[in-house]
Structure 1
Amino acid sequence: MVKQLPEIASLWIGGRLSWLEQLCLKSFADMGHHITLYSYEPIPNVPKGVHVADAEEIYPSTPMLRHVRTGSPAIHADMWRLNLLKKTDKIWVDADMYCHRPFDDPSGFVFGWEKPGLVCNAVLGLPRESETLNALLDFFKDEYAIAPWLKPWQIRELEAERDAGHPVHMTAQNWGFTGPASVTYFLQKTGEIEHARPEAAFYPVSYPDRNHMIISRFNVEERFTDETRGVHFWARRMKPRLEEKENNRPRRGSYMDRLLDKHEINPDEALIPPKVVKAKVRTPEDEALFRAKVGLAAIKSDASMDKLSRDFLVDKQFIKECRDTIVQNASKLFVPEER
């Protein structure tokens, strides 16, 4: 008797699929899984073998929970996947997770370490009665919840903002608040972390080494083990690299190039679109003043990088650059004259 594989599900928010999503989704169908791609609007180029369904059946589209600083719907996807696990017996996968071998664990607990201390939720299977799942759903009923896994100074800072009448919404929290950080915390708290697979199970190629999958001189399959079931492509960073520097395709002979041939995916028919960058409305003069304001705040304020990032809606690297520019310029003014 042929063993029935668990059903797989993913969510797509954003129109047409690129060839990278097509490759990943089709890999599950080709491996024998029933896979469903949910969306809030029709997708015109879903690959053969992939089923489609209305995402509203799982979690409403309104309000769409987007990260305040980046505009990413990742927070909405985090909430959506938790509700998927509660309402169905399907295993969640991100649309950039490739199926290397069947996901054949019958336990219902399907997730793995991304790196020491952090479970990634790009693959997430939890039984409906899972203590972790119920704890996550209960915790996020409060959209202004303060995470107990944060450092004490971070908690104090968020409590101060709350007590001042300005609680921080989940969409304004640090990146990953509703994803890996919360999943890891509650898995550890409930003891269900014992089901975590090793890094090689789903993340055999680490985030820092992601580009090895599109460069022919690297043989990433040497890093796979008998436990390897999936391969995460880290699309948030991989896709801009492919579109901007690699002519919209992996290099010939690379691991990902071979997969395109294996699953009969043609990149020319589903090109990765250019990364959308929000238009800057500030004039050059205003931009200089804004950078100066951010830099001075970083130097003079007692606020953390976290709070400055929330206040100015910029990432921490931008804040550091503004601060360093002011420090460097100031140091030039006080260089002692040579005698």
Structure 2
Amino acid sequence: MAQLPEIASLWIGGRLSWLEQLCLKSFADAGHHTTLYSYAPIANLPEGVVAGDAEEIFPSRPMYRHARTGSPAIHADLWRLNLLKKTDKIWVDADMYCYRPFDFSRQSVFGWEKPGLVCNAVLGLPRSSPALERMLEFFRDEYAIAPWLKPWQQAELQAEKDAGTPVHMTAQNWGFTGPAAVTHFLQQSGEIRYAEPVEAFYPVSFKHRNHLIMGKYDIESQLGPATRGVHFWARRMKPRLEEKENNRPRRGSFMARLIDKHEIDVDAAPIPPGARATEPRRHDPEFRARLALEALKGDASIEKLSRDHLVEPRFIKECRAILIDGAPRLFRDHPAQETQDTAE
């Protein structure tokens, strides 16, 4: 039997929650040599997972964080490209569960999340990959304008660049360094032909992610013979579990059964409270009205307003819609609306 490929991931932060422990241990339990890289020691690595020094792959300074969210996802995107250039490991996000061993015979390992988009939660490429080389070269320019954007989006970014205020990669739209880039360069090089079907890694969509933690859904019926992994969409899943589910999936759910299978102690590694400090401006009626008026005026796109004001595009659209409706609630505080804006 051929040796399974090595698996690697990156963790930027403190202790792992039980969700990361579950996912990482699933690879080790499946027989993969599994390394979790970090910039500081992690006290609660799951059994079978090896610690790695992230500095050996890509430096921690500067730390590339998304300007609006503060997330280090951009840094992780750049880090994984350097991992692939320096090692033969397959990258997995720390919220990717190993349903079956990743017993691929080739080094090009990635899959469709949905039609037209390859997700980078699983990414393996040979060091000689043309797409990998082009991505590394493209992101050397931290103010690069993505050729996969629509013409009007490129024109808007170019105008800002020409005006002496180029948009840094950390201020670009969410995902700029992630799936959109990976998909573009794989298509450009022709390596897109190696993409696995949606069933391989993303059989449960982002839209239906909460089915994974509810007992009434038969997840196994959605997992076919091509399924190797199941993505848990932690960016949205963890707040749901911590805020609404008592920090654990519901009894009888797919995820609850996996916790038992891999002997994960949920109580020993709870999901920490989300860092969702209330943004005072979101409740400021003058700020909401000004955003709505700027959006209606149309001199700048919703995306540019989002970058300029560091708020979600959806929030701007909702302010605009309320103003169009003529509803006076735009000019009042709305805690309930805030919850709807920020939680899915």
TM-score w.r.t. structure 1 length? 0.95
Q: In structure 2, what is the Cα distance between the partners aligned to 1:292 and 1:55?
A: 45
Residue 50 of structure 1 corresponds to 49
The yes-or-no answer on 1:289 pairing with 2:286 is yes
> Aligned to 2:121, what secondary structure does the other structure show?
strand
State the identity as a percent: 70
Q: For 1:270-309, what aligned pairs fall within 5 Å after superposition?
A: 270-280=269-279, 287-309=284-306
Q: Which residue of structure 2 aligns with residue 316 of structure 1?
A: 313
Measured in 1, the distance between the counterparts of 2:171 and 2:11 equals 22
Q: Tell me the CA shift for residue 317 of structure 1.
A: 1.1
Aligned 8 A contact 2:282 2:288 in 1: no
- After superposing the two structures, state which structure 1 stretch, 315-324 or 130-139, moved more: 315-324
The letter for the 1-side match of 2:290 is: K
Question: Structure 1 residue 290: deviation in Å?
Answer: 1.2
Separation of aligned partners in 2, 1:87 and 1:236: 28
SS of 1:22's partner is helix
Q: What is the alpha-carbon distance in structure 2 between the residues aligned to residue 195 and residue 53 of structure 1? A: 29
Q: Deviations over 1:151-206 (max 9, x none)?
A: 01001101100001111110011111100000000000000000000000000111
SS of 1:159's equivalent?
Answer: helix
Per-residue deviation at 1:330?
A: 7.0
Instruction: Map residues 1-339 of structure 1 onto 2, 5 A cutoff.
Output: 2-280=1-279, 287-329=284-326
SS of corresponding position for 2:215: coil
Structure 2 gaps of 5+ residues are 330-344
- The structure with the largest alpha-carbon Rg is 1
Q: Aligned pair in 2 of structure 1 residues 293, 197: CA closer, same or farther (>3 Å)? A: same
Equivalent-residue separation in structure 2 for 1:257 and 1:164 (angstroms): 54
Superposition deviation, residue 3 in structure 1: 2.0
Deviation (angstroms), 1:331: 9.4
Q: Give, as a single letter, the amino acid of the residue that structure 1 aligns with 2:41.
A: P
Unaligned residue ranges in structure 1 (runs of 5+): 333-339
Indicate how the Cα distance of structure 1 residues 330 and 34 shifts in structure 2: closer, same or farther if over 3 A, else same: closer
Q: Partner of 2:270: helix, strand, or coil? A: coil
Change (3 A) 1:206 1:26: same
Structure 1 vs Structure 2 CA RMSD = 1.4
Aligned residue type for 1:41: A
Secondary structure of 1:293's aligned partner: helix
Task: Look up the SS of the partner of 1:231 in the other structure.
Answer: strand
1:328 and 1:100, CA in 2 relative to 1: closer, same or farther beyond 3 A?
A: same
- In structure 1, what is the Cα distance between the partners aligned to 2:151 and 2:280? 37
Question: Which deviates further from its counterpart, 275-284 or 3-12?
Answer: 275-284
